[in-house]
Amino acid sequence: MDYIHLNEMAFYGYHGVLREETKLGQRFRVTVSLATNLKEAGKTDDLSKTVNYAEVYELCKGIVEGPPFQLIETVAENIADRILFNYADKVSGVRVQLIKPDPPIAGHYDSVAIDITRGHFA
């Protein structure tokens, strides 16, 4: 299995349970890994034989910077669902890591993150 990774994409969104999160917004970082077959693209140098990661970036941006959700789990699930739907002929599985670097939680920590895998991801 081959993979395309879009690492640490940075967006600004309004997701969260607390009022200040949905009013003020906050930073989000997203890493997406796509399970795919890159052999034909590698042999032919043909973009149509692979997944255009600029399109995947825009898809992720539209979800993270779009209408708010309470849970980052929902944001990640939407990203995974849209990728699997839009690229069903090329992507067999997707892994989404969504990081919330600055959640309004008292304490000392680097970030809060969730990590989901959908489809066939070896």
Strand stretches in the chain, DSSP E:
2-13, 26-36, 91-100, 112-119
Is residue 103 scored above 80 in pLDDT?
yes
- Tell me, yes or no, if 61 is annotated catalytic: no
Q: Which of 49, 61, 90, 100 is catalytic?
A: 100
Is 2-119 in CATH node 3.30.2390.10?
A: no
In the prediction, which pLDDT does 82 show? 98
Is residue 122 scored above 90 in pLDDT?
no
pLDDT above 70: percentage of residues in the chain:
100
Spans of all domains in the chain: 2-119
Taking only the tens place, the pLDDT of each residue in 11-56 is 999 999 998 899 999 999 999 999 999 999 999 999 999 999 999 9
Taking only the tens place, the pLDDT of each residue in 65-94 is 999 999 999 999 999 999 999 999 999 999
Task: Count CB-CB contacts under 10 A for residue 46.
Answer: 10
